[in-house]
């Protein structure tokens, strides 16, 4: 068996070195690589394609085949990342263009000629742009799921508030049934009863407002979910059309630009919806704290009725008790300050 011929360019040389280090230094290495590629892709025998490109100007598809099937058995986790960056720089020096589907930085002879692509609009080919858009879509999906968790918390708090409202209504019924027993102090209690009724109405209005906000938040979340699913289907259809028809590069770039602008608009709408959710949650927290303080004030006044006298004594004003230690707000109010929740809508 004769040895492999000398490579025609640096990229062929680098690929041959990886093939030989994994499959030996004879032509059999190309045969073994072709067999592995055929087995993995179920495509026609790629042997001729591999041989022709190694003798000419290898394309990026061949680079990916070599990286997929020529890694050493004891390769470290960073082996592929390092080889991709190295071969991308060699590919750029040979073809004078960025490899397709590659978004990392380009290093030629130790110098960075191009930085990594950080956004889809910087991509020069539709395939790379679609991959970056898919990653951005995944990030938006994760943000939406976190918004769903916040919505669930909001519903739990609304249920708790409804329970407190029911308890308050029971207390009011008990107070009404004992009206005959405290008739002699009716004049002093008239103001208290009026205040209690006003607080009950306020609590009912607050509960109705919370229900409306939760319902609106759920509708906005459903709208965001439908928009994201629609965009996901559109990009899946775009990938299928690209793989089936291989449309002209200029036409594909126009389609990808149009899809990206649509995604950006939906992302802005999703950000606005999530900002509204956050504002509603902050407002709900204030409402709940205020209602707690009102209920504590009501409990302190109803548990110690004033004695019969021409003028009731001035009751000591007690500061509403707060959860936690040292009069500080307890951990049940600190969930809104978690770093994860603070950064949710950024």
How far, CA to CA in Å, does 305 sit from each of 70, 135, 188, 301?
Answer: 86, 64, 10, 7
pTM: 0.37
Cβ(116)–Cβ(98) below 8 Å: no
The pLDDT of residue 286:
92
The answer to whether the Cα torsion of 51, 52, 54, 58 is positive or negative is negative
Least trusted range by pLDDT, from 53-67, 155-169, 192-206, 306-320: 306-320
Q: Say how many Å lie between the first and final Cα of the chain, rounded.
A: 62
- Residue 229 pLDDT > 70: yes
Mean pLDDT across the chain = 78
How far, CA to CA in Å, does 85 sit from each of 63, 76, 199, 321?
Answer: 11, 15, 67, 61
pLDDT average, residue stretch 150-164 = 82
For 161-208, strand residue ranges (E) read none
Tokens of 156: 């739990």
How far, CA to CA in Å, does 275 sit from each of 20, 279, 283, 284, 343?
Answer: 56, 6, 12, 14, 11
DSSP state of 116: P
pLDDT average, residue stretch 164-190 = 77
The pLDDT of residue 169:
79
pLDDT average, residue stretch 133-146 = 79
pLDDT average, residue stretch 140-154 = 81
How crowded is residue 82: how many other Cβ atoms within 10 Å of its Cβ?
11
How far, CA to CA in Å, does 290 sit from each of 127, 147, 152, 297?
Answer: 54, 25, 22, 11
- Residue 292 pLDDT > 80: yes
How crowded is residue 297: how many other Cβ atoms within 10 Å of its Cβ?
15
Cβ(11)–Cβ(39) below 8 Å: no
The span from the CA of 235 to the CA of 290, in Å, is: 47
pLDDT band at 287 (very low <50, low <70, confident <90, very high): very high
Tokens of 49: 């394609």
More confident residue, 241 or 281: 281
Output phi, psi for 107, to 5 deg: -120, 120
How do residues 6-28 score in pLDDT, each as one tens digit?
A: 445 889 888 888 888 888 776 67
- Residues in a beta bridge with 26: 3
The span from the CA of 68 to the CA of 229, in Å, is: 32
- Residue 133 pLDDT > 80: no
The pLDDT of residue 272:
92
pLDDT band at 289 (very low <50, low <70, confident <90, very high): very high
The pLDDT of residue 282:
94
The pLDDT of residue 281:
92
The pLDDT of residue 35:
85
The pLDDT of residue 316:
46
Closest Cα partner for 82 from 115, 104, 98? 104
pLDDT average, residue stretch 259-286 = 91
pLDDT average, residue stretch 234-254 = 80
How do residues 64-113 score in pLDDT, each as one tens digit?
A: 898 888 888 777 888 888 888 888 889 888 888 888 888 778 888 877 88
Q: What percent of the chain has pLDDT over 90?
A: 8
How do residues 180-217 score in pLDDT, each as one tens digit?
A: 777 777 777 788 878 878 888 898 999 888 889 989 98
Domain boundaries, the chain: 10-116, 126-305+321-342
How crowded is residue 178: how many other Cβ atoms within 10 Å of its Cβ?
10
More confident residue, 265 or 242: 265
Closest Cα partner for 70 from 35, 102, 94, 100? 35
More confident residue, 180 or 296: 296
């Amino acid at each position: 068996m004769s040895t492999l011929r000398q490579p025609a360019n640096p990229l062929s040389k680098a690929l041959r070195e990886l093939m030989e280090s994994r499959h030996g230094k004879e032509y059999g290495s190309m045969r073994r690589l072709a067999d592995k590629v055929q087995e993995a892709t179920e495509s026609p025998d790629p042997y001729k394609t591999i041989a022709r490109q190694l003798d000419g100007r290898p394309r990026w598809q061949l680079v990916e085949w070599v990286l997929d099937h020529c890694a050493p058995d004891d390769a470290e986790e960073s082996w592929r990342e390092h080889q991709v960056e190295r071969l991308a720089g060699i590919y750029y020096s040979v073809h004078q263009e960025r490899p397709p589907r590659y978004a990392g930085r380009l290093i030629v002879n130790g110098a960075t000629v191009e930085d990594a692509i950080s956004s889809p609009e910087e991509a020069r080919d539709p395939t790379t742009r679609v991959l970056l858009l898919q990653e951005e879509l995944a990030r938006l999906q994760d943000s939406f799921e976190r918004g769903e968790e916040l919505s669930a918390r909001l519903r739990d708090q609304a249920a708790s508030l409804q329970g407190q409202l029911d308890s308050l209504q029971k207390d009011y019924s008990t107070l009404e049934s004992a009206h005959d027993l405290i008739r002699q102090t009716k004049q002093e209690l008239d103001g208290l009863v009026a205040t209690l009724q006003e607080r009950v109405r306020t609590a009912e209005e607050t509960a109705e407002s919370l229900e409306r906000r939760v319902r609106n938040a759920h509708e906005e979340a459903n709208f965001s979910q439908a928009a994201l699913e629609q965009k996901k289907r559109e990009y899946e259809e775009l990938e299928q059309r690209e793989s089936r028809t291989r449309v002209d590069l200029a036409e594909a770039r126009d389609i990808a630009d149009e899809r990206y602008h649509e995604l950006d608009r939906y992302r802005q709408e999703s950000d606005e919806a999530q900002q509204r959710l956050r504002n509603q949650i902050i407002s709900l927290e204030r409402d709940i704290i205020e209602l707690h303080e009102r209920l504590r004030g009501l409990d302190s006044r109803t548990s110690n009725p004033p004695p019969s006298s021409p003028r009731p004594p001035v009751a000591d004003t007690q500061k509403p008790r707060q959860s936690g230690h040292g009069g500080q707000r307890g951990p049940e109010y600190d969930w809104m300050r978690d770093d994860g929740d603070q950064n949710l809508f950024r």
